């Protein structure tokens, strides 16, 4: 019986045994595992959604709160002398344990514990970047927890002020507090026009006092809209259309109002904005592995608007406009093989392929992989081979060489062998087992060409024998090539 079969048999027996246990015994067993194994506890909490009412029914427990606060304080005091190990750390597993534990407390106790967690982290950082996803979660959770109490407007103001105070008061993030987390926490707690009016007034009065105050001003449009003040929302948003998110938000507003023409005009104005930026930055450098200009990367990173425009024109059977948008995707977002195929089909239907083809290939710029993929798709074998031959035998070049070689080995076996020989030599020069493994994998592809295409195993044996003879003192290489 294989290991797999043995495991399957054991799983079946274990399942039957567990299913036969009374529910109380099964719960006791799970709880023992929770207390015995921290990793099991983490995974279980990821899979189980505990209803809010269960937390609300938990009694307040000051002794338990005090104990956990001491544990949190000690944890951050212990790492205070080794902050370099945590510089801009994205994830610290111990914080997961603290957060998971905090969420099992009564909401009133959570409102005491969450600030303690954040402030203990702040006290330990001493100006270091100490950004983790768990601290952002703690900030957001604070607002959601406070919202469970159904607080009055006057009671909410204290929490609003506390959250705003954390923008500058928490020395957790080297480049300023993660104000997005604070915004989400504020929005979780705010629920009435009066709440949002207070938030807007605070921003108006204090934005200049905050290091990231300009970002707070970005919240104004969203807060006006959530607060039901549509006139001021439109005034602010239309005056500050800068990012794709701004344009998309405004277009969605009009679409929700049933104003499709107005929504479409906003989406199209984003494309005009991109074209204007492209025209004013034509001399700026481009990334060698990206098909859009570095200067535009932040604005087009998502590409949602161009997708929405393409979907709309396709639904209207408007081929001319659909083609225009697909070409815009190639220019501003990414020119891929899949997009090329779609553009070609559409342009041929419109009788415009000879005009469109050069433009599309121009949008590819320096992305040799996409260019090679297109040549292979068009069965322009020699053009694809030429691209592969120009690739360096390392890094990004590996994938392109292998892509082309596998596609043309039946037609150009000798050229393919030369391509792979270059990769074998480069990896042998790496002089360690990992590189020898790579070298052997490419040598195996050379063997495949000699064996299946050229039917010439003697030449293959001579080639691999020479490699082994030249490297007879490299035992790791002998190991890897001995398997060929």
Query: Where a domain ends, among 340, 366, 392?
Result: 366
Determine the Cα angle at 185 with ends 183 and 188, to 5°: 110
Same domain, 330 and 417: no
Q: Which of 111-125, 194-208, 251-265, 327-341 has the lowest mean pLDDT?
A: 111-125
Residue tagged 């998309």 (tokens):
248
30 touches 44 (CB < 8 A): yes
The span from the CA of 455 to the CA of 451, in Å, is 5
Residue tagged 């070689």 (tokens):
405
Please list the residues that pair with 375 across neighbouring strands.
Answer: none
Mean per-residue pLDDT of the chain: 85
Is a pLDDT exceeding 50 seen at residue 295?
Answer: no
Same domain, 343 and 384: no
pLDDT band at residue 29 under the 50/70/90 scheme: confident
Q: Which of 113, 106, 101, 100 is nearest to 59 (CA)?
A: 106
pLDDT band at residue 60 under the 50/70/90 scheme: confident
| Structural tokens at position 319 | 């081929």
Q: Stretch 180-199: mean pLDDT, rounded?
A: 94
In the chain, what is the straight-line distance between the N-terminal and C-terminal CA atoms, in Å?
Answer: 30
- Does residue 129 belong to any structural domain of this protein? no
Same domain, 330 and 443: no
- Provide the domain count of the chain: 3
Is a pLDDT exceeding 70 seen at residue 79?
Answer: yes
Q: What is the pTM of this model?
A: 0.72
- Which pLDDT score, from 0 to 100, does residue 121 have? 85
Is a pLDDT exceeding 90 seen at residue 293?
Answer: no
- Which pLDDT score, from 0 to 100, does residue 287 have? 32
- Does residue 444 belong to any structural domain of this protein? yes
Domain span at 40 = 14-47
Q: Stretch 376-392: mean pLDDT, rounded?
A: 95
Same domain, 249 and 341: yes
| Structural tokens at position 210 | 């905050």
Is a pLDDT exceeding 60 seen at residue 294?
Answer: no
Q: Which of 312, 319, 187, 326 is nearest to 255 (CA)?
A: 312
Q: What is the CATH number of the domain that holds 319?
A: 1.25.40
Q: Stretch 259-286: mean pLDDT, rounded?
A: 82
Same domain, 362 and 392: no
Same domain, 425 and 352: no
- Does residue 56 belong to any structural domain of this protein? no
- Does residue 302 belong to any structural domain of this protein? yes
Same domain, 362 and 245: yes
Phi, psi for residue 125 in degrees, rounded to 5: -80, -35
467 touches 461 (CB < 8 A): no
Same domain, 272 and 310: yes
High-pLDDT (> 70) share of the chain, %: 83
The span from the CA of 465 to the CA of 481, in Å, is 9
- Does residue 37 belong to any structural domain of this protein? yes
High-pLDDT (> 90) share of the chain, %: 59
- Does residue 316 belong to any structural domain of this protein? yes
- Does residue 328 belong to any structural domain of this protein? yes
Higher pLDDT, 247 or 55: 247
pLDDT digits (tens, 9 = 90+) for 271-282: 999 998 888 765
What DSSP designation does 453 have? I
Q: Which of 80, 77, 72, 150 is nearest to 112 (CA)?
A: 72
Q: Is 300 left (phi over 0), alpha (psi -120 to 50) or beta?
A: alpha
Q: Which of 348, 354, 309 is nearest to 332 (CA)?
A: 309
Higher pLDDT, 353 or 75: 353
- Which pLDDT score, from 0 to 100, does residue 54 have? 57
- Does residue 361 belong to any structural domain of this protein? yes
């Amino acid at each position: 019986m294989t290991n797999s079969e043995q495991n399957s048999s054991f799983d079946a027996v274990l399942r039957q045994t567990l299913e036969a246990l009374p529910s109380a015994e099964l719960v006791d067993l799970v709880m023992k595992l929770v207390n015995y194994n921290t990793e099991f506890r983490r995974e279980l909490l990821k899979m189980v959604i505990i209803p809010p009412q269960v937390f609300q029914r938990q009694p307040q427990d000051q002794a338990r709160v005090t104990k956990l606060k001491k544990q949190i304080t000690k944890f951050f005091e212990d790492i205070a002398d080794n902050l370099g190990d945590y510089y801009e750390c994205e994830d610290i597993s111990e914080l997961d344990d603290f957060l998971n534990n905090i969420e099992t407390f009564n909401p009133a106790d959570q409102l005491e514990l969450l600030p303690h967690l954040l402030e203990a982290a702040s006290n330990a950082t001493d100006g270091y970047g100490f950004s983790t996803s768990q601290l952002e979660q703690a900030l957001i959770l604070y607002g959601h927890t406070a919202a469970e109490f159904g607080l009055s407007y006057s009671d909410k103001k204290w929490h609003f002020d506390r959250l705003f105070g954390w923008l500058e008061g928490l020395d957790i993030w080297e480049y300023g507090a993660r104000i997005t987390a604070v915004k989400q926490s504020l929005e979780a707690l705010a629920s009435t026009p009066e709440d949002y009016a207070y938030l807007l007034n605070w921003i108006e009065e204090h934005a200049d006092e905050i290091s990231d105050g300009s970002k707070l001003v970005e919240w104004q449009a969203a807060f006006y809209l959530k607060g039901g003040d549509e006139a001021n929302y439109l005034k602010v948003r239309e005056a500050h259309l800068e990012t794709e998110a701004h344009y998309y938000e405004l277009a969605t507003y009009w679409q929700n109002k049933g104003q499709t023409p107005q929504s479409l005009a906003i989406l199209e104005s984003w494309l005009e904005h991109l074209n204007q930026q492209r025209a004013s930055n034509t001399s700026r450098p481009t990334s060698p592995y990206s098909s859009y200009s570095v200067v535009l990367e932040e604005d087009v990173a998502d590409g949602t608007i161009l997708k929405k425009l393409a979907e709309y024109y396709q639904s209207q059977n408007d081929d001319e406009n659909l083609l225009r948008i697909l070409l815009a995707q190639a220019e501003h977002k990414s020119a891929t093989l899949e997009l090329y195929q779609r553009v070609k089909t559409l342009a041929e239907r419109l009788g415009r392929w000879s005009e469109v083809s050069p433009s599309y290939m121009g949008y590819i710029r320096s992305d040799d992989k996409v260019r090679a993929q297109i040549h292979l798709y068009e069965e322009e074998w020699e053009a694809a081979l030429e691209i592969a031959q120009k690739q360096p035998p390392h890094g990004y070049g590996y994938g392109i060489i292998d892509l082309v070689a596998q596609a043309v080995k039946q037609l150009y076996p000798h050229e393919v062998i030369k391509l792979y020989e270059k990769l074998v030599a480069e990896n042998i020069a790496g002089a360690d087992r990992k590189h020898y493994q790579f070298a052997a994998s490419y040598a195996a592809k050379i063997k495949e060409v000699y064996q299946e295409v050229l039917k010439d195993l003697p030449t293959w044996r001579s080639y691999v024998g020479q490699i082994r003879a030249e490297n007879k003192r490299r035992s790791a290489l002998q190991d890897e090539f001995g398997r060929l």
